Structures are given as structure tokens and as C-alpha cells.
Structure 1
Amino acid sequence: MTRHICIAQEPEADKLLSIDDFALVVGMTLDQQFPMEAAFKGPQKIAERMDGFDLHKIAAADPDQFVALCSETPAIHRFPGSMAKRIHDLAVFIVDNYDGTPSAIWTEGDPDGKTVLKRLKGLPGWGDMKARIFLALLGKQLGVEPAGWREAAGDYGNDGERRSVADVVDSVSLQEVRDFKKQAKAAAKAAKTG
């Protein structure tokens, strides 16, 4: 199945996300306290500095040198040091636990949605919400639909909504997701003060 990811809103970055599962996992890892399209450009920045994007090369890299590489201007994130460490830890974790194959997280042993969610939550630096959003991304954009994936993804698995990065397929949907998040934040603030 050919996939066409359009989250970074930049052809080369989106091409890498479309062909490399680890790039997609790294983009999701970087998607916090940073604009989502900028987060998903991170793997391309790393690829340009490491002469390609290679999970094994990242896992084998000296952690301090990898932090320095990710901190070069333009940095991969507003917190490049901590995020570089997280990416390095993630690469090592996938090599050690999934034989260097990120897709094994969602395919090994024909898992159901709850199992995939549990595996995603086990990734370094990933919490419940990030795992649910990525599970929704797998189902909505990659055609990875283990039994019960929508239920395991919670509201992020809802069809026809523009709630998270899982729903970003072009610049219009990116803006719709931004609008949704803005409204949700305003509603939460109103509920807190009201």
C-alpha cells in the first residue's frame, strides 16, 4: 500500500514520513510544545545532517554527538537536547525490543488495538494521549486497523473529525485541527473559570 503523508507540509519531509515508519514515530515523538508541522519536519532535518535517516545509525550514535547534531540551527525542536535524547532512546528501544523494525510495534503477533496501544505507551517518552493519537494515525492514514483500534484510540479514532495530527491530510485539515484545539482549549479554560 502506497501512503502519502502530508503532515509536515513540506514535500521532502512528507516524503520521508511516507516511506519510513521510524520517521513517523519520531515526528510523533517531537509533536509536543511545538507546532505539529514543525515537529514532523524533524526527521528530515536529522536525515540531512546524518546523510540519511537510519534508525540503526541513530541508535549507534554517541548520545552527546546526536544531541549536538539535533541542536544545530535550525534545531529539530524548541527543546532539542531533551528531544534528541528521547529520539536516541527510542531508536535503542526499537532495536532492542523490536529488532529494529518499528512496524513490529503494530504488526508483530497480529495484535488487537488494545495491545498496539499498550505497546505504543511503552515507548520512551510516550504517554496515553500520544499513543492514542498515533494509533488513530495508523488506522486513518496507514490502513493499519487491528481489531478494536477505534475504541482503543478513543475520540481520536472518530471518523470525520479534525481533532489531532491523525486527521491532517493537507493544509486545510491542518487548519481545522488547529481550530479544534483552540476551541477545546477555550472551552476547558471557560469550564475552569466558570
Structure 2
Amino acid sequence: MAAPSIPVTGDPEADRLLVTDPLALLIGMLLDQQVPMEWAFKGPLTLSQRLDGLDAAAIAAMDPDALVEVFVTKPALHRYPAAMARRTHELCQFLTEHYDGDAAKVWKGVRSGDELYRRLRELPGYGEEKAKIFMAILAKRLGKAPAGWEAAAAPFSDDVPRSVADISSPEALLKVREWKKAQKAKGKGKADKA
């Protein structure tokens, strides 16, 4: 398999962080709603710069209002910075309590797609669709594909360029954008967003 990459942000440093820091990837996926993918997945780099690194235990230990201030500082990390700061805080608290603050433990050693899906669904802010897309990112972009992941992550496990999991190049990003635009034109709802 080629070197892992998720070239979604247009910023090489932000893209590199997504494949080198599991917490950055989890936070990027958490932020991926109601904003362009590029903005959501660049958020972890901006947050890392503002906090002098990403550390789940350190974020969990922060006063939630202090984290809100970090998110709302211009340029804001999200369209809804206060709400997403609180979700990020909850995510980091959960990771600290259940995975010793190590985001990669969510998927390390997982043997089945169903188990990985269950673990992802337990994460604050991770609904059904977000969990499935994240599974597809792990399998398609990072080579972490437990048995049965395709069924557990469907439809995001297929070859249709529909989500961030399908972005392997700037051209692939354009294909995902085109697919989303076509779905929107057809009047498709939330289930097809990524």
C-alpha cells in the first residue's frame, strides 16, 4: 500500500497531521459537519498550534470554557465553534477515561468491523454515519481494515467517491465534491453527506 495520505485540506502540514496523529484524525472527523471538509480537517492543525500540541488528557483537563475561547478565537475553528469545542472536550474526556488518552487505541487490535463500529459509536459526537465514514478512512486511507469492515461501514466502503475516505488526491477531492453536488441536486438528504 502507498504511504498513508488524506489530502483533503490543501495544506500539506494539516494533511500530514491527519495521518500521523490519531487524535487529530478523530477531531477532524468530529468537526466534519456543517462546514466544508477542508475546513473541518484543517481544524486539528489550528487547534494543535493554539494549544502547543494535541493531547487528549490535557484537553480533557481544560476548563470547557477555556477550550471554547480557543475555538472562537478568530479565525474560528468551526461555523459553530462553541458547540464543537464542547464536543471536542467531551471526546477527549471519553478517550482519557476509556483509552488512557490514546486515540489510536480506539482501533488498535480490533479484529472485526462490528467491534470497530461499536467503539466508534461510543465516542461523543460520533453518530452512525460519522462512525461508518471514519471506518472507511481507516481502511481506505490508513490500511487499518479489520475483518468485515466493508459491511459495517457500508455504503462508505464502496468505490463511489462519496466521502473524505475516498480522497487520495486533489482530483479525488473534486470527484467527491461532484458526487455531493449531484446528490444535493437530486434532493438527497443527510444520509449521503460526508
Q: Normalization by structure 1: what TM-score?
A: 0.92
Q: What is the deviation of 1:144? A: 0.6
CA distance in 2 between counterparts of 1:101 and 1:49 reads: 20
- Note if 1:52 corresponds to 2:53: yes
Aligned equivalent of 1:35: 36
Residue identity in the other structure for 1:164 = S
The two structures, once aligned, show a CA RMSD in angstroms of 1.4
Residue identity in the other structure for 1:88 = H
Checking the alignment, whether the CA contact within 8 Å between 2:55 and 2:101 is kept in structure 1 is: no
Aligned equivalent of 1:177: 176
- CA deviation map 1:43-94 (0-9, x unaligned): 1111111112222221111110110011100111000000000001000100
Aligned equivalent of 1:165: 164
Aligned equivalent of 2:108: 107
| Structure 1 unpaired stretches of 5+ | 190-194
- Pick 1 or 2: higher relative contact order, CA cutoff 8 A, min separation 6: 2
Aligned equivalent of 1:18: 19
- Note if 1:120 corresponds to 2:120: yes
Q: Which runs of 4+ in 1 moved over 4 A?
A: none
Aligned equivalent of 1:192: none
Residue identity in the other structure for 1:132 = K
| Structure 2 unpaired stretches of 5+ | 189-194
**Aligned sequence identity (%):** 47
Q: Normalization by structure 2: what TM-score?
A: 0.92
CA distance in 1 between counterparts of 2:150 and 2:169 reads: 22
Aligned equivalent of 1:95: 96
CA distance in 2 between counterparts of 1:116 and 1:171 reads: 29
